[in-house]
Structure 1
């Protein structure tokens, strides 16, 4: 048996079994929240003093004691005790040892239920800012890369088959759009993170006339929760953060997948920085895109972590249940992935060198302008479905003759449709093809430059 936890052991005759204490302790995970826990306690102590629950002398002792505890933790001199279960009780117990009975008043009207939600929201606000900063760094790299590759021809793909000519700058800006939406989602998530639960108590509220709005503002929140039962049991904000990270992880995985494919000898579209690749323990010639593979592979756990939280919450009755102790491990794991993968992806793209010749070879190897031929016929007055069929026949003829579409003679093309004239060949030129795609968002360099200008405005570059 272990010593009873003095924070709640009053009604118990027996001490907690050692195996129960070990099984239920969360200190190895939630001690990450020490800064937020101390900040929340300082603010709550000030609210208690304003409400007349503690006096100014007691407030000063509490603040001084908490400052000492923070210094001990940050200098790695704090004695974390598993028997005290979590970060909250470890800090409160240490505070009592430092300042005496005044520490026993700090938890007046406050429960670990509203305390942990407060800590976690403050922590996620800080981590959201860090993630947004990393996304912004990556977006800036993408914009600058796209600007330098705005005229670089490459094949666009559907079904992993060469489809239509595009520019590399256009493709890089597609990556930008994906991650730009991620940035917006983290911004939107912060609106809900800035709603403070502190003052909700265990579930029924607080009777000590705490000024909840003033307390919330002192911690940087902008609003307070409207229902104390929901406030202590809500984990939507954790799930939302995990969803944002998992979707961003999917985007990073897709980008990494393309970098992996493009860096293969079969494609040879990109040369990744040597310092971000690894070799083989048996094959001396290998240069493996391991960082991209780890970004791709690591995104899987963020999806698993999201599903873990959804599963954790789905059968819980209101209000708080100890199940929620299990929310932090998956959350912290996903946050670590988010920051690491963004950093390494930024470095990979910043140092990537694109092989224009390989891209251009693939642009001119195949029937990449078949759609342009169909659209040329549409401009001659032929309905698109008929034009599509004629262009398909032209592709068939080229393949049978072992020629490119652009290598077919005018005579051969006119056999397919008499309306085809000599001007058809400029529509079979990939360079002319991309310049013609000048709709908003299209691959024409003029449009890509507009996309880049808009992106620079958003990033304030």
Structure 2
């Protein structure tokens, strides 16, 4: 019979017991459950609700169970429907009546809400650390390959030459925004529901401020109904994970393209590639592809929880049992994928000559040729048309802009002089973009400095794991 079985004449059968159980998902939160119970017992003793002797026995017994869980020797009973019952039953078996007093003034509703919030904070803390490490990799790769020129793209067509470092730093700033989203998710989880009981609070003189302090929460939740039924913070976490996975997917799409024979911009390390079972020459970017594929999985976690929450009346409903697996899966998937991305980037070879060679192709100098005319007084729209006709001429004669003679340029406009050649060099074109945020060498150096400062500030602000007092 379950611990709540006093109301019932019969126990549930094996199938319904298994269907209603959440023990397998809950095991990941076992330590958080124990932290919450230690804080609750400590508060009960402080308030004189249980004796200090009972509290000491409870805390000692819970610490023993914590050690068993940590070293893998704790024996779970398949009949336990969740981690809360598993821990409480074992505690009571081990220490007797004091264990049965632990649940005084507490419901499983506020207990599980506390566990999940502590777990969400721990998951998000790991993700923030992983985010910092990945962003450090982007900076390292940008510095290591400073000065390498590649074609920049729009519509996946050659557009203008850019520094490879500039391209890498674009991802740095994407993941900087992800850090902000993860921080918001952490702050949303950082509120204490313990003491709200089932939904209405309790007649026991609980000190919720004290458990808030013991558990390292920022504040206690002011409404008991909201406290036990809110899972918005998990939606915040899953949304942050989904956006970050989208950014990883964009990066991995480029890694897949860049490592192909058609591009040849990078060569992936053997450690982040696989072969073919039939084609001996193959070197496949499987880990980039897997990361790209796992993005859909994290999107699914977010949509599942949004759908679960969309029509739940206040306060607690059993549907909320389904809120645990998705956030844990999303967080673990993102954490693993960030580590994979960091490994791929830090070990890949950048083929600078190939990148520069491609930067010469696709008329990437066309904008600068139009700017050349505009700087000599021609309205830019006219200059745009003149250069467009030059490109058409080149295509018909199988030439690049750099292949045109001075006479061919002058045939398009008398404003062209011999110095037009200096505006056709991809390295010079990239270097000339000196505006803040541009791809010029000086601008990217300034951007690197700013990126390092942002990373240092975020690393210094990483939340520390609180110790239960």
Q: TM-score range by the shorter chain?
A: over 0.9
Q: TM-score, normalised by structure 2?
A: 0.95
Cα deviations by residue, 1:197-236 (Å, 9 ceiling, x for unpaired): 1111111112212111121111011111111111111111
What does residue 236 of structure 1 align with? 232
Instruction: Determine helix, strand or coil for the equivalent of 1:47.
Output: helix
For residues 296-315 of structure 1, the aligned pairs below 5 Å read 296-315=292-311
Paired residue for 1:394, among 373, 390, 395?
390
What does residue 158 of structure 2 align with? 162
What residue ranges of structure 1 are gaps of 5+ in the alignment? Answer: none
What does residue 88 of structure 1 align with? 84
Paired residue for 2:283, among 266, 281, 287?
287
Report how far residue 434 of structure 1 moved.
Answer: 0.9
Is 2:372 aligned against 1:376? Answer: yes
Separation (CA, whole Å) in 1 of partners of 2:356 and 2:432 = 18
For residues 45-64 of structure 1, the aligned pairs below 5 Å read 45-64=41-60
Separation (CA, whole Å) in 1 of partners of 2:220 and 2:14 = 39
Contact 2:184–2:236 (8 Å) recurs in 1: no
Cα deviations by residue, 1:46-99 (Å, 9 ceiling, x for unpaired): 111112110100000100111111122223222212322100011111111011
Separation (CA, whole Å) in 1 of partners of 2:218 and 2:362 = 58
Paired residue for 2:442, among 436, 441, 446?
446
What does residue 219 of structure 1 align with? 215
What does residue 266 of structure 1 align with? 262
Contact 2:135–2:176 (8 Å) recurs in 1: yes
Separation (CA, whole Å) in 1 of partners of 2:316 and 2:102 = 21
Compare 166-175 and 369-378 and name the one that shifted more.
369-378
Contact 1:277–1:287 (8 Å) recurs in 2: yes
Instruction: Determine helix, strand or coil for the equivalent of 1:162.
Output: strand
Paired residue for 1:247, among 222, 226, 243?
243
Report how far residue 188 of structure 1 moved.
Answer: 2.2
Report how far residue 261 of structure 1 moved.
Answer: 0.8
For residues 20-35 of structure 1, the aligned pairs below 5 Å read 20-35=16-31
What residue ranges of structure 2 are gaps of 5+ in the alignment? Answer: 460-469
Q: Which has the higher contact order (CA 8 A, sep 6+)?
A: 2
Contact 1:242–1:331 (8 Å) recurs in 2: yes
Compare 249-258 and 65-74 and name the one that shifted more.
65-74
Separation (CA, whole Å) in 2 of partners of 1:205 and 1:423 = 81
Contact 1:51–1:208 (8 Å) recurs in 2: no
Report how far residue 292 of structure 1 moved.
Answer: 0.9
Contact 1:398–1:404 (8 Å) recurs in 2: yes
Contact 2:185–2:234 (8 Å) recurs in 1: no
Report how far residue 267 of structure 1 moved.
Answer: 0.8
Paired residue for 1:342, among 333, 338, 348?
338
Compare 161-170 and 395-404 and name the one that shifted more.
395-404
Paired residue for 1:5, among 2, 8, 13?
2
Is 2:152 aligned against 1:177? Answer: no
Compare 30-39 and 175-184 and name the one that shifted more.
175-184
Paired residue for 1:127, among 120, 123, 130?
123
For residues 404-443 of structure 1, the aligned pairs below 5 Å read 404-443=400-439
Separation (CA, whole Å) in 2 of partners of 1:64 and 1:427 = 76
Report how far residue 43 of structure 1 moved.
Answer: 0.3
For residues 311-326 of structure 1, the aligned pairs below 5 Å read 311-326=307-322
Report how far residue 329 of structure 1 moved.
Answer: 1.5
Contact 1:147–1:449 (8 Å) recurs in 2: no
- Tell me how large the CA RMSD over aligned residues is: 1.3
Report how far residue 134 of structure 1 moved.
Answer: 1.4
Cα deviations by residue, 1:101-156 (Å, 9 ceiling, x for unpaired): 11122111211111111111111211212111111111111101101222101101
Contact 1:141–1:349 (8 Å) recurs in 2: yes
Contact 1:305–1:330 (8 Å) recurs in 2: yes
Report how far residue 189 of structure 1 moved.
Answer: 1.8
